[in-house]
């Protein structure tokens, strides 16, 4: 970062401003290297089970949610064949040819042994024909709950109750044993789609592998948010009534356009949105079940992510065009579209918005603890002071959020729901999100070693004069 450079003697304001502006002016060039393998965005649900499994276990491993040897995934075919990760093969380098197939008659096809936990996968499929995919892993936060024998309260964030459903609990049994399979299957027979395994980890089912991964990621996010929240304060949970009120107030989708066009400028912004969403998922700044990104196209017209599309799997054609208060035909935009429209209407200098959940920021969002960005100069310059608003301030019809946001107040926290970041170019907005999450992480990590000493008012005013008052 530019502020890490030491400038001897009486530093030059012009030099620092030039460095700062250089960073802003390079956003367009950086877009070409945002993500890898963006030439072809695949529809996960149309992939072969072995390719789905390889991709999902790769996501889990790269995000640090399992180890080289830990965890297993399976998918059951329409013909009853079960595709499953192998035993004793590095989870960080699995290829589709490593994935094993256990036929309905018990025949094993593939170069390895099926996972040692295969018995409980089969037991779940036998008792729950509606479940078509299973994920078992040892993600750190959920393991923390399993070893103290508690179940995370998913009312910590707004959408998790409906994504995860009620959570079951399976008492300890020897890994790989039939007894463990019986215990787990008993829990799934009660209707659970997710369970905590005592002194072991978690196992989740889904109608397909995308559904199972979304549930897995959301449950681990809940656990992390609770743990980080407890580090800095006391987490507050939403009541079932508050969650129901949130679902009830969600507005109907905008009316459809009669016709739609896709000029080059519009297509370019679609790609930008997909790149940022995928990058946010890879960095843990967004999860499958939550995250809205939009960017102004021209005037008050904009492009926005859809609803009910897992964020990891967002494709260019999923992005929704909003023009003259109407939506692209045949598509359903984010449920927060009305809020994005109001922000653009009221703030002509705001050209992009990210609404997401990231674990360290949400620790402040669920505890009502002060998110003090006066940690290092960069944090305050990029974010200034970040207000925290009550749950419900984002409900349809509320004007509190659009009225607060501005170029000098680009970010807010919505309690038990999200962080909302705004900016000019979309990469600048994403940069602010990264800075905000890093700042929150530093604050959480500093809590056990002492009280944070913020940059003082005089130092803030110096930063304001040098970097903001132009």
pLDDT single digits (tens) 224-283: 999 999 999 999 999 999 999 998 888 888 999 999 999 999 999 999 999 999 999 999
pLDDT for 37: 40
Model confidence at 54, pLDDT cuts 50, 70, 90, reads very high
The band of 42, judged by pLDDT with boundaries at 50, 70 and 90, is low
Average pLDDT of the segment spanning 40-62: 85
Q: Which domains occur in the chain, in start order?
A: 44-232 (3.40.225.10), 248-468 (3.40.225.10)
Q: Quick one: average pLDDT of 337-350?
A: 96
Confidence of residue 14 (pLDDT cuts 50, 70, 90): very low
Structure-model confidence comparison of residues 320 and 2, the more confident one:
320
Ranking 233-237, 288-292, 397-401, 424-428 by mean pLDDT, the lowest is 397-401
Quickly state the pLDDT bin for 35 (edges 50, 70, 90).
Answer: very low
pLDDT of residue 65: 93
197-221 per-position pLDDT tens digit: 999 999 999 999 999 999 999 999 9
Instruction: Return the HEC string of the chain.
Output: CHHHCCCCCCCCHHHHHHHHHHHHHCHHHHHHHCCCCCCCCCCHHHCCHHHHHHHHHHHHHHCCCCCCCCCEEEEECCCCCEEECECCCCCCCCCHHHCEEECCCCCEECCCCECCCHHHHHHHHHHCCCCCEEEEECCHHHHHHHHHCCCCCHHHCCCHHHHHCCEEEECCCCCCCHHHHHHHHHHHHCCCCEEEECCCEEEEEECCHHHHHHHHHHHHHHHHHHHHHHHHCCCCCCCHHHHHHHHHHCCCCCCECCCCCCCHHHHHHHHHHHHHHHHHHHCCCCECCECEEEEEEECCEEEECECCCCHHHCCHHHCEEEECCEECCCCCECCCHHHHHHHHHHCCCCCEEEEECCHHHHHHHHHCCCCCCCCCHHHHHHHCCCCEECCCCCCCCCCHHHHHCECCECEEEECCCEEEEEECCHHHHHHHHHHHHHHHHHHHHHCCCCCCCCCCHHHHHHHHHHHHCC
pLDDT of residue 250: 84
Report percent pLDDT > 70 for the chain: 91
Nearest by Cα to 175 from 142, 136, 125, 127: 136
- Name the more confident of 15 and 122: 122
- pLDDT at position 364 is 98
Q: State residue 23's pLDDT score.
A: 42
- Is the pLDDT confidence value at 30 over 50? no
Q: Which residue has the higher pLDDT, 275 or 9?
A: 275
Q: Which of 58, 46, 49 has the alpha carbon at shortest distance from 281?
A: 58
Q: Is the pLDDT of residue 189 over 80?
A: yes
Task: Please tell me the predicted confidence (pLDDT) of residue 396.
Answer: 86
The chain-wide mean pLDDT, for the chain, equals 90
pLDDT over 80 at 372, yes or no: yes
Average pLDDT over residues 313-328: 96
Categorize the per-residue pLDDT at 374 as very low, low, confident or very high, splitting at 50, 70 and 90. very high
What is the rounded average pLDDT of the residues 61-66?
92
């Amino acid at each position: 970062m530019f502020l890490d450079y030491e400038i001897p003697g009486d530093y030059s304001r012009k030099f620092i401003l030039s460095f700062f502006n250089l960073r802003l002016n390079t956003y367009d060039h950086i877009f070409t290297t945002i993500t890898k393998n963006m030439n072809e965005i695949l529809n996960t649900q149309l992939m072969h089970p072995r390719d789905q499994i390889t991709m999902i276990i790769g996501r889990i491993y790269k995000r640090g949610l399992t180890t080289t040897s830990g965890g297993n995934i399976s998918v059951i075919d329409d013909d009853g064949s079960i595709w499953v990760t192998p035993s004793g093969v590095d989870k960080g380098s699995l290829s589709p040819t490593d994935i094993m197939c256990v036929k309905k008659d018990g025949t094993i096809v593939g170069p390895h042994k099926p996972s040692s936990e295969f018995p409980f996968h089969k037991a779940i499929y036998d008792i729950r024909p509606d479940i078509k995919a299973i994920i078992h892993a040892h993600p750190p936060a959920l393991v923390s709950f399993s070893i103290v024998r508690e179940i995370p309260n998913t009312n910590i964030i707004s959408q998790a109750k409906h994504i995860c459903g009620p959570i079951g609990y399976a008492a300890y049994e020897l890994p790989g044993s039939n007894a463990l399979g019986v215990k787990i299957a008993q829990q799934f027979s009660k209707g659970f789609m997710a369970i905590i395994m005592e002194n072991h980890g978690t196992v989740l089912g889904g109608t397909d592998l995308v559904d199972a991964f979304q549930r897995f990621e959301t449950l681990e996010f809940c656990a992390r948010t609770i743990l980080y929240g407890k580090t800095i304060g006391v987490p507050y949970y939403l009541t079932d009534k508050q969650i129901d009120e949130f679902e009830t107030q969600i507005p109907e989708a905008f009316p459809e356009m009669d016709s739609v066009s896709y000029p080059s400028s519009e297509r370019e912004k679609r790609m930008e949105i997909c790149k940022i969403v995928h990058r946010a998922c890879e960095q843990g700044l967004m999860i499958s079940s939550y995250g809205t990104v939009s960017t102004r196209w021209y005037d008050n017209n904009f492009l926005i992510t859809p609803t009910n599309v897992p964020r990891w799997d967002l494709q260019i054609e999923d992005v929704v065009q909003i023009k003259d208060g109407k939506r692209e035909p045949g598509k359903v935009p984010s449920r927060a579209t009305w809020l994005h429209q109001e922000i653009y209407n009221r703030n002509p200098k705001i050209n992009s918005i990210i609404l997401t959940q990231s674990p360290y920021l949400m620790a402040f969002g669920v505890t009502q603890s002060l998110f003090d960005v006066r940690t290092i100069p960069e944090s305050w310059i990029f974010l200034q002071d970040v207000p925290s608003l009550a749950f419900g301030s984002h409900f349809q019809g509320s004007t509190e959020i659009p009225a607060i946001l501005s170029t000098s107040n680009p970010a807010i926290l919505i309690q038990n729901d999200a962080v909302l970041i705004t900016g000019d170019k979309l990469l600048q907005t994403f940069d602010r999100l990264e800075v905000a999450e890093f700042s929150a992480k530093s604050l959480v990590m500093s809590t056990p070693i002492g009280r944070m000493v913020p940059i003082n008012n005089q130092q803030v005013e110096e930063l304001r004069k040098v970097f903001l008052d132009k």
